[in-house]
Amino acid sequence: MKSKICRTCNVEKTINKFSIWSGRKSYRPDCKDCINNKQKKYLKENPETYSKVKKAQLEKYWVKRNEELPSLQEKIGKIKICTSCGYEGSVNDFARDASVKNSLSKVRLRGTCKPCKNIRQNEWVEKNPDKLKTYNKKTYNRRKKDKVFMEKRKEQQHIYYQRPEVKEKKREKDRINKQKPSGLWRRLLANALTQLKTVRPKQTRTLTLLGYTHETLFNIVGSKPEGNYHLDHSIPLSWMVSTTPPSIACHLDNLSWITEKNNLAKNNRYSNPVSESYFNILKTYIKPNFINRFIITDGVVYDLKKDFILEQWDKGESSVF
């Protein structure tokens, strides 16, 4: 291949690095890189000229594209072939290309069908969770500053969640989640805070308040038996002061499964004996009128009045006063 020396940088380059003079058959004396750098420098020093050139290029682009618009509009409702899987079907099965704006946004479609686009998108999400989190955070921070957008979004969400089918779907989802181990674990904390009349600290996780996960809870207490069983506190929450931390009130030593019948019968009475080590932690939070009701025997704490002991109740020996 022929070569030529650039007049500006004095570097010998191949002939394809030079552009041809318009209307001539010879090559320009300056290489393409030098010409580009010279044009960039000029446009940077003359912003008014740059804006005029940019506007002229944009108008020229849309004049050309709008000439193609009628032919593109004729394709609407016709057959299109997916470039990924080869599916041949209606253009309604193809996603719109969001990157194309203005007059072509309604007619320009992606080359891939919607299922292929979704598969590709899901694969990217699985491989790039950190990038997705960053993008979502940037989008949220940007939109949060737009008060008009946020008000419109709240109004749309309110209308959406007031729909009967959405409400019923949410109720069904809540019913399913409540029966899951994680749902029972969260409900245990919610019921404890309600009975203790304690306000939950804002944005505090269940794990932080209880001090154990739902896996730990059901590994020690055991999975829920078949039938109507409740997760019961051996020493009732009504015997504790309102300042009792949830991690102590719902300690694993104080929890056990109990049938619905026994739970309703015992009401707020002491159900099962607890260990002495746990009682020593809890006794500072027990109300004064209940603290004298306990007796310790062989490292196990019993209720002195024996109001309700499940083992005796099942045998018909327990006395409930």
Per residue of the chain (321 residues), give pLDDT as tens.
Answer: 788 899 999 999 998 898 888 777 788 899 999 999 998 888 888 888 888 888 888 888 878 777 766 666 565 556 777 888 888 877 777 776 655 444 444 456 677 888 898 999 999 999 999 999 999 999 989 888 888 989 999 999 999 999 999 999 999 988 888 888 888 888 888 888 888 888 777 678 888 888 899 899 889 888 888 888 888 888 888 888 888 888 898 998 888 888 888 777 777 777 777 888 888 888 889 888 888 777 777 777 766 655 544 455 444 443 332
Q: What's residue 177's pLDDT?
A: 85
- CB-facing half-sphere around the CA of 20: CA atoms within 13 A: 5
Report the C-alpha gap between 32 and 191 in whole angstroms: 75
Q: Structure pTM?
A: 0.50
* Contact predicate 109/81, CB 8 Å: no
Among 254, 310, 248, smallest CA distance to 285 is for 248
Residue 10 in 3-state DSSP?
coil
Pairing, β 3-5 against β 300-303: unpaired
Q: What's residue 128's pLDDT?
A: 92
Non-local CB neighbours of 151 within 8 Å, separated by 6+ positions? none
Report the C-alpha gap between 103 and 75 in whole angstroms: 15
Owner of token pair 């996960």: 213
* Contact predicate 283/291, CB 8 Å: yes
